[in-house]
Chain A
Amino acid sequence: MSLIRIKRGLDLPIPGGLDSAVLEHAPEPARVALLPQQSWGIKVQLLAQEGDRIKVGTPLYCDRRDPRVVYASPAAGVLESVVRGEKRVTLSMIVRAENFAEQAPRTQMDAARAARAESVEALAASGLWPALRQRPFDRVAHSDDVPHSIFVTATDTEPLAASPREAIRGREEHFRSGLETLAKLAEKGVILCTSAEEDWSDLRTRGRQPIAGVAAHQFRGPHPAGLAGTHIHFLDPVGAKRKVWHVAAQDVADIGEFFATGQVPTARRIAVVGPAAKKRAFVQTRRGAEMSVFDAFADRSRGAVRFIGGSALSGRTAQPGTDDGWLGRWDRQVTLLSDETEREFLGWSAPLGKRWSLTNVYPGKFFGAARLRFDTDLNGSPRAIVPIGLWEKVMPLDVLPTQLIKALASDDLEGAEKLGALELAEEDLALCEFVDQSKTPATALLRQMLTRIEKEG
């Protein structure tokens, strides 16, 4: 076990964290959906038709590139609609949920004795496989690959995140079995990454014996100390030829529960947080739940509220009632932000300023964070890149952010690859995009580049 200290980075002083860590139960969603486009580069092949009777674990679609891995329904009911977008791209598959207990039939297996191939087969058919994601490219893992190692991300430093330890409370045994199963899938086993502030030692031991094939590492420091990309960079860096997988703590418990009980778990624990949330709670809902189950949390007294699946930095707009208004496959939190447009007169001349900046050009931040506004204002407009060293302040990896982002912006494939684009996903550059005074869309540029590298490389 080792402790890795992250010095560069940033914990946003944003208000709206959890009121308490006690788990509440949200009303059951009337509908759930899967969002195929969340899996990068997917070529969707539908496995169910509109109007079909669906059970928990019934395959809805798969990726033609890896047809063994199915994406399965988290609810039992009827497949209500398949929503398509431009060029007939499948945006979502919506299931009208009747219950969350009726499971699709499958044969039970003994996880402890199963060979690797059997475990892979069972996971791929259960619909739980997409919890495993691969670096480079941050896409769903391919079931034919053997990764160098599997990173279990058991810490979360995203703004307003809940502790993953709380998210698996009461499911500790399942978490342990999940680790055991995953350890068999990778060449070098599982790397369990936790926060230095939390004690996870009981979760990687069974009795007194440490679980075989599980190495543990602790991270201390500001965000992005809790991101898989950071862990991978320091412990087992990836490149064009080396792949690793990563998976979040709740998904490990799901995998453990699946092998222990033969049932596909459908519950998901979510932190509903944000400055525009009138009540902030840790709630249990379902995977793929419709966002309107969180409607009661939104504080609309100041105008429109944006629902974000994920954190304010790396989340995805998920407005209830729209095609995106569903809880995403990997979301661990729902963030609510004020989304009301407002144009301030001579805003640049405000001596104190109402908003927070990493630079000290708005001294308002020294007079208490409580009066500062955190909303969806871009706070400026796009300009040419003027590198004053802010990116370097929030980039803990041995990556030169200014040069990398410039390579991305100038579509320099070779340069971007050399400078470390393959090690990163959008979430790893989110802080860079946040602090940028030129408002360069760094994360979108990174995804474009990754898509291009995958296609051409």
Chain B
Amino acid sequence: MKFLRRKLDEMGKSFHKGGRLEKLYPVYEAADTFLYTPGTRTTRGPHLRDANDLKRTMIFVVLALLPCTVWAMFNTGWQAMLADKGHAEALAAGFSAGNVLTALGIGAWAFVPLYMLTIAVGGTIEAIFATVRKIEINEGFLVTSLLFPLIMPPTVPLWQAAIGIAFGIVFGKEIYGGTGMNVLNPALTGRIFLFFAYPAQMSGNVWRIMPSDPANAVDGMTGATTLGLWKDGLLPAAEHGSWWDNFIGLVPGSMGETSALCCLIGAVLLIAGRIGSWRVMAGCVIGLVATTFLMNATAANPYMEVPWHWHLVVGGFAFGAVFMATDPVSAAQTDTGRWIYGFLIGALTVVVRVMNPAYPEGVMMAIIFMNVFAPLIDHFVIRANVKRRARRLELQ
């Protein structure tokens, strides 16, 4: 390893001040500190520092996303197999090792190119902005680049995905000044852009990973997502999966978000690691459950009668609450604010799902909407704090 270190130091010379490649220092820094801890010492108090840095934080979020990612590949493949007559015979064996591997293979074929494309396009944009701004490349992109393909339908054309991530990074993050300054969640911004720009592929009604030869399609297989079916008035019924199917995630949907179980594992990791905000997650769940109760009590149509435990597991709610709403920069940044922010995301999700005739899924809209309102929530929390402290000073 000494050899590599020496090599890096040698290369580094041309990237430092006065070197030939001085302008590309952020790129060198990213690679150098990826391979080796920076080794910088403190110069003044506090002389000791916490072991955690942004790199490890972001890697940890990626770790928490792994169950969802693996499930994304499996379930994408599995749904494709269900839709394809060619697999009917093999599927008779159920979840055999062979079937699981086939499904993983098909899913990986849909997911991996999308992921690589996201990293290539988004990473290049990040590097360009960092170089121009002369700041280090921020590790937040590790998470954004994994979140983005996970909230894509598996049939999204790659060129659309490339436009989506580019839009998300530039308009969701960089125009505000980069990581830490952004108002919106960049992955979600990209997704919503695609949703409005290319509704045919993105509507969330129909999940389509069609067999290569249309003649092979299983009869009557629409590939509709659970929420899409609800929208059409087909409320929880046996024919489109039990509650458990939805909880485990054996239903069609955007790649990473079908499994509430995998999201739950991610939530446990994020909270145990003290990285994700449990206040936001709890706020989301409480908001969703409370609003569902309100709907149930005043039910004017069958959709309003859908019970809370169904709302929790269908669509992207679990994924959104655990991984998207908790984005620390675009969420509210006061502890009180985080409760309010989470609660309103949960509440809005149900309102959009049940009341809005246009979109079957509401969590995406709810989060981006609350991203915009998070600074306002914080503003009121801060004002209360300032007032309280001013009053204490007068009383003494």
A residues contacting B by CB (< 8 A) are: 12, 14, 148, 159, 236-239, 242, 306, 308, 310-317, 335, 337, 339, 341-349, 353, 355-362, 374-390, 392-393, 398-400, 402-403, 418-420, 426, 430-431, 433-439, 443-444
Contact = CB atoms under 8 A, between A and B. Distances in A.
Interface in B62-116: none
Nearest to B137: A383
B47 A383 contact: no
Interface in B343-396: 378, 381-382, 385-386, 388-389, 392-393, 396
B49 A377 contact: yes
B41 interface: yes
B38 A343 contact: yes
A419 B385 contact: yes
B55 A380 contact: yes
A430 B46 contact: yes
Interface stretch (B271-279, B290-298, B300-308, B311-319): B271-279
B180 A384 contact: yes
A234 to B, nearest CB: 10
Interface string B12-53: 000000000000000001000111111111111111111111
A337 B1 CA distance: 27
Contacts of A439: 49, 53
A349 B49 CA distance: 18
B309 to A, nearest CB: 29
B138 interface: yes
B259 interface: no
A113 B198 CA distance: 88
A314 B45 contact: yes
A361 B57 contact: yes
Contact of A437 (B5, B47, B50, B334): B50
B38 A381 contact: yes
A310 B45 contact: yes
Nearest to B395: A237
B42 A376 contact: yes
Given A362-B51, A380-B55, 20 more contacts: A237-B389, A242-B396, A337-B48, A355-B51, A358-B52, A359-B275, A360-B274, A361-B52, A361-B56, A378-B40, A378-B41, A379-B53, A380-B54, A381-B53, A384-B138, A387-B328, A402-B333, A437-B50, A438-B180, A444-B44
Consensus secondary structure, chain B interface: loop
B334 A403 contact: yes
Given A341-B41, A389-B277, A392-B335, A380 B48 contact: no
Interface string B319-350: 00000000011000111001000000000000
Shortest 9 CB-CB distances between A and B: which pairs?
A: A380-B53, A384-B180, A355-B51, A347-B37, A343-B39, A357-B51, A343-B36, A357-B52, A378-B40
Contacts of B396: 148, 236-237, 242
Given A242-B396, A384-B179, A386-B140, A316 B45 contact: yes
Interface of B: 1, 4-5, 29, 33-57, 59-60, 135-136, 138-140, 178-181, 272-277, 279, 328-329, 333-335, 338, 378, 381-382, 385-386, 388-389, 392-393, 396
Contacts of B55: 348, 380
Contacts of A310: 45
A350 B328 CA distance: 24
A386 B53 CA distance: 10
A317 B53 CA distance: 23
A346 B53 contact: no
B328 to A, nearest CB: 5
Contacts of B139: 383
Contacts of B389: 237, 398-399, 420
A379 B43 CA distance: 13
A429 B333 CA distance: 18
Nearest to A432: B46
Q: Looking at A239, A400, A419, A420, which has the most chain B CB atoms within 10 Å of its CB? A: A400
Name which of B29, B39, B275 has the most chain A CB atoms within 10 A of its CB.
Answer: B39
Nearest to B274: A359
Contacts of B179: 383-384, 386
A353 B51 contact: yes
29 contacts: A237-B393, A238-B393, A310-B45, A313-B47, A313-B48, A348-B37, A348-B56, A355-B51, A358-B52, A359-B273, A360-B273, A362-B52, A380-B37, A380-B40, A380-B52, A380-B53, A380-B56, A381-B136, A384-B135, A386-B328, A389-B279, A393-B274, A398-B385, A398-B389, A403-B333, A420-B389, A437-B52, A438-B180, A439-B49
Contacts of B45: 308, 310-316, 426, 430, 443
Contacts of B38: 343, 378, 380-381
Contacts of A311: 45
B371 to A, nearest CB: 15
A414 to B, nearest CB: 11
A383 B53 contact: yes
A444 B179 CA distance: 22
Contacts of B381: 400
B37 A361 contact: no
Contacts of A375: 48
Contacts of B334: 400, 402-403
Nearest to A234: B392
Contacts of B37: 343-344, 347-348, 377, 379-380
Contacts of B4: 345
